[in-house]
Chains A and B, each alone.
Chain A
Amino acid sequence: MAEQASIAEATMTGANNGEGVRRRDFINIAAVSFAGVGGLAALYPLISQMAPSADVLAESSTEIDISAIAPGQAIKAVWRKQPVFIRNLTPEEIKAADGVDVASLRDPQTLEQRTTAGKTNWLITMGVCTHLGCVPLGAGEGEVKGEFGGYFCPCHGSVYDTAARIRKGPAPKNLEVPPHEFSSDTVVKIG
């Protein structure tokens, strides 16, 4: 009995710093925090493993020969496993794109901003609708180009003009222009 009482007394006096916080509370908080931080750190690889892996990231540039594309024609290339439209615009199509009041567009951009200086006839865009990712029609032979003469997405009816700018339908943005540069007059490097 006496022994128990002295242990209780020791706990009371020895561990109590006067504000009701005991030494044991500190150990408790420190141990749980340490385990918590460790647990969170262990989550990081579990979440990060889902992001694109190194081999997927490595396929991030491609070179394309554009010498055979006549004005008015377009081809579909592949970059990052997604389609890219490379289109040789006719002077009429350039004129149609430049004739639009940029301020009236949903995603205001001029054709110059979307092409390389001196090569405004080469419109290079992703073939991925900015709505939900379908491939719009209009690059292939005989495909519907939509009422603005550019691209038409059959999934949800988005219509793009000759500068591949969104004009009508649910898509929020213009078709994305991927990073690209002309290695020569006939070869373009995407990515």
Chain B
Amino acid sequence: MSFPWANEYKPTNPLMQWVDERLPLPRFVYNAVGAGYPVPRNLNYMWNFGVLAGFALVLQIVTGVVLAMHYAANDKVAFDSVEHIMRDVNWGWMLRYAHANGASMFFIVVYTHIFRGFFYSSYKAPREMIWLLGVVIFLLMMATAFMGYVLPWGQMSFWGAKVITGLFSAIPLVGTPLQEWLLGGFAPDNAALNRFFSLHFLLPFVILGVIILHVWALHIPGSSNPTGVEVKQESDTVPFHPYYTAKDGFGLGIFLLVYCALVFFAPNLLGHPDNYIPANPLSTPAHIVPEWYFWPFYAILRAFTSDFLFIPAKLMGVLAMFSAILVWFFLPWLDTSPVRSGHYRPLFRKFFYLLVVDVLVLGYCGGAPAEEPYVMISQIASMYYFLHFLVILPVVSSIETPAPLPFSITEAVLGKDEHATLAPATPAVA
């Protein structure tokens, strides 16, 4: 599970020794995110985002549990209970803004984490399972975020619920009964609101469980690094604590600066004013869009405007939208290059940046109204998105000549392998 030179947990405090012999939980933490976990010495700031994502989840759970003490999941009073939180509950305004913007920050961090994976090919053997679990976490996050957005029961909440559950009605034969089963009615109503609240409370803890599996799978091969060269010797690594706890602490400071700037100075920047209008089943807002973090996928959904062979346009859009994420599951086998890091793959690197631009364009179109030229741009960008994963990646992998790799992480950092110095062994904690 770890390298043979990993520090061993040796508690000196008799109480900790007593605990360790009966339930080695401190030992487990020490080996997972403490001095007992050797990590490549060359990690850059792109490796901060896993810890930041974990922090964002804890933030969401803490603020969410507190908000649930004041929120009422009933269609008659849900909207008012949110206003009650904003106006009457002590610090309620701050907790709600912290939760709403925390979701945005969570997605910013997770998107960066995912694109870090794309660039450094973190999904390649032996880390496929980490990647697959990561995609599962992302899908769970999307479901949780969607249901959370329904809870204030404003216009965007209601119509978001209607449109997204409407996706299921595209499925042949079982679609409409499935939609009615999901909603517990013919349109979003009290039944839907209540079950969304129940699931919105549950899913973060499911995510927490999958994160534990994700980190477990990570600790078998150990962390990847910017060169993509595997750890060979002790001089390639430093203990996670204090080296990366310090580095992650700095990243956390930057994260909190951005987060607090949003919460305290622009709390509604990423929201929609329409959601401050109570839900009205008889009037659709002129421009319904999901939250910004769904825009790229929403653009793909809307890109299909005419029937393809025997498949109706609506079903095509839904299939394409889900495929846009499901294709990530196949990534470890679509990219066949033996070199991991984008730093040593000149051709791959160009296409990576093109994909970033493509997703940003999709995001912009997803937030724009459904009219020209955005529809046509979405169509081109959606086509390129799938082209990247299904054609460009396999072809580039087979024709590209990668740049020479360093012999080891130590050589990449210090220039010469034999000059390696070791990190001082940290004393065992009390």
Binding site for B on A (CB under 8 A): 50-53, 56, 76, 78, 80-83, 106, 127-128, 130-135, 154-157, 169-172
Contacts and interface: CB of A to CB of B under 8 A. Distances in A.
Contacts of A155: 163, 284, 288, 370
A50 B184 contact: yes
A51 B180 contact: yes
B195 interface: yes
A73 B64 CA distance: 48
A169 B288 CA distance: 16
A106 to B, nearest CB: 8
Nearest to B164: A132
B284 A135 contact: yes
A76 B282 CA distance: 8
A109 B60 CA distance: 51
B180 A82 contact: no
Given A76-B282, A131-B166, A133-B163, A52 B302 contact: no
Given A52-B180, A131-B314, A170 B302 contact: yes
Given A51-B184, A135-B284, A81 B312 contact: no
Interface stretch (B106-114, B186-194, B355-363, B393-401): B186-194
Given A157-B370, A170-B304, A172-B313, A132 B162 contact: yes
9 contacts: A50-B184, A53-B184, A56-B189, A81-B187, A82-B186, A130-B314, A169-B305, A170-B305, A170-B313
Contact of A83 (B184, B281, B375): B281
A52 B317 CA distance: 27
Q: How large is the interface on B (under 10, 10 to 19, 20 to 34, 35 or more residues)?
A: 35 or more
Interface string B273-284: 000000001111
B181 interface: yes
Interface in B130-168: 159, 162-163, 165-167
B371 interface: yes
B350 interface: no
B186 A81 contact: yes
Contacts of B371: 157
A52 B163 contact: no
Contacts of A157: 305, 370-371, 375
B319 interface: no
Nearest to B303: A170
Contacts of B287: 154
B282 A78 contact: yes
Interface in B304-338: 304-305, 307, 312-315, 317
B191 A52 contact: yes
B185 interface: yes
B185 A52 contact: yes
Given A78-B282, A134-B159, A170 B182 contact: no
A50 B163 contact: no
Contacts of B302: 156, 170
A134 B288 contact: yes
Is chain A's interface secondary structure helix, strand, loop, or mixed overall? loop
6 closest A-B pairs by beta carbon, nearest first, are A132-B166, A133-B166, A172-B312, A134-B284, A132-B163, A80-B186
A155 B371 CA distance: 10
Contact of A170 (B162, B181, B184, B314): B314
B173 interface: no
Interface string B334-372: 000000000000000000000000000000000000110
B286 interface: yes
Contacts of A169: 305
B163 A170 contact: no
A133 B281 CA distance: 11
Given A50-B182, A76-B282, 5 more contacts: A52-B186, A80-B186, A80-B187, A81-B189, A133-B169
Nearest to A81: B187
A155 B191 CA distance: 25
B275 to A, nearest CB: 16
A92 B281 CA distance: 31
B133 to A, nearest CB: 26
A172 B311 CA distance: 10
Nearest to A52: B185
Contacts of A171: 314
A130 B227 CA distance: 51
B92 to A, nearest CB: 30
B284 A50 contact: no
Contacts of A127: 282
B184 to A, nearest CB: 6
A74 to B, nearest CB: 13
Nearest to A51: B181
A139 to B, nearest CB: 10
Contacts of B182: 50
A154 B371 CA distance: 10
Given A132-B162, A155-B370, A82 B181 contact: no
Contact of B163 (A51, A134, A154, A172): A134
B185 A81 contact: yes
Nearest to A49: B184
A52 B166 contact: no
